[in-house]
Structure 1
């Protein structure tokens, strides 16, 4: 038993150290913060998307007649469907800021490089940009440019490649001109890269990344099974006490690419290419990582005062996907009773709901609806997929309860016995006095 505890302790310490290293990685932090920064775009227009897509015929007729529907769709096209441009700006901003250089300069340089690399249609009267390159086709390029361009700017700045002006020049002018040499070098490099990629598969940097790197990666990673297994890994890490946010930086480019591709298809009236993949997000982690809302739902039926009391405190936060009170209060972290249900709930509910969806139970979703994370899953599922998608969340919830129940009963019985033994000890002390 001692040997097992020592081995477990070493394993946990080792995993925690690796997670700490990942958490300190500037690139991963910039990715995480950068993608989180873009949520104001998706959340900012989601309410309008819900309103104009209500399946009420008189309402739809009114919206089309007054051109409100086309106006909102246009707004969706330049926001959610063009996340690439917002991603490159947000990632570049956070990367440069973390490196303690001027974040606005990093954003301007990265955004310029993004457009330099983008293929253009040029004729005598106009220059046009294909906005598809700012959507799902441009997410990976946005990530690369958002990290590499500001990294080059920071490196060149640290090498003192600056325009040095006399002290008599106003600070506002000197600060704006300081990165000029760095910008010229980076822009020149971007143009050289653009030229080289004219002769490579795809004919340009964006299509090369999309066809050679992004598409095969999406084919391997953007599958329902991969999403479920990723959720299982996140839940296991959470059981170890390592917050799943550690992995989110690496996964966000893929998730965002899938969402953007779905939005583009939806606005074009086409079938969603990642329907089930995206739907699983609202089914495999109800109440937060580990599906702990199912566990908390059992607490009112506990025999022990410990779990009854915790249920009163943890249920409301957990309903809104904030599960730290139960994870740390039960505790779920490093509790041998809960490691199996923490990972098994996601695996079982994911596979079962995937099977139901594969039968066509939920034929479509509205990917332009991006409810806030704290909204209860049943409600957010209803807003994006109607009553059938909400019903799937209920099914997943019932599956999670069935899995948690036997483990909870064992833990509750042990807690109850401990309480009874402590009560007897207190009574004996009182009698002896």
Structure 2
């Protein structure tokens, strides 16, 4: 890991600064929007608009890179982000903010595609897993750091909009001054959704639901915290708890996923996350309880993004794994777009508790659908007594672009090919001599 930080420090530092700005302005939208008198549903549409732009940018950015190169795309989108962030207090209209959020989602997605293609092209087969892990962890730490800045500022003024603009501008300096242009980033043509669903219904439906969960946590947590009357410092700690929980739970969930039936692990984590979220409906008066429940629901839910990718791969042929990534990201993006408005309607109908109820219901749906699928098809573990799952790769937050997911898929493909090769060698030994026979 030290070697990875030494070779990619500029990119990792740049993405850390970028995520400070992204995390700060994302939470600031909910707080400042409430100050400006925006309704809960309007704020939910603003949150959804980000994911509309993000999904579009992830598909268009590779074409821009192919046309003008990494450096120009990176610099242009960075300028757009910096300008957009300081535009919010100038035009305090919910529909203008929706348009700005679409633009910033598009630009950030393009930046992720560019940065991740740089990282992927500069990594070797031996370092790719560590590089992606370091990259994703720096993103999560940046999101948490952004909440700390929010707690120290005044959301009714200009400064908290200027700071993320500065962070975004500074984030591109180390990258552009040290990174060399790389080959064009090309995303794989996605497998058709029908074919992907036929291969793994639970993987597809699970990714759809998890898109809604992540978007709801990311876009509406600040709105919820404002409505229940948390102070700015309490609000920032509450939002940070979702990401801190994801960091803490990442390793144990990843460790378990390589040792037990992944479908059972997804169902268990979803069910526990649903129970934690349901507790939020009844324990909103206790600030400490809110922090614990946020860490539990975020920690159990966010690693499921990567776990569902790994689970889907268990049912794919090696040659289908790269093509599946595009379909999974698209389905997740649709869920992310739909999640905040549905949550906003619930909060408008029943009050702040609708935030937790939405998370509980959606996570509960993942668990229930998983149990239904268990009654329809045996696990690959049961189908083949000597089956070994391809190892779970790394945490993949919902901010990952197709390039990062495809890079993770490369890790799965390499591991699957190595396992297949080892199996062939064992089979060859078994048939060549009595001594090589399995016990």
TM-score (norm 1): 0.27
Flag the structure with higher helix content: 2
TM-score (norm 2): 0.27
Question: Which of 1 and 2 has higher RCO (CA within 8 Å, sep 6+)?
Answer: 2
| Greater radius of gyration (CA) | 1
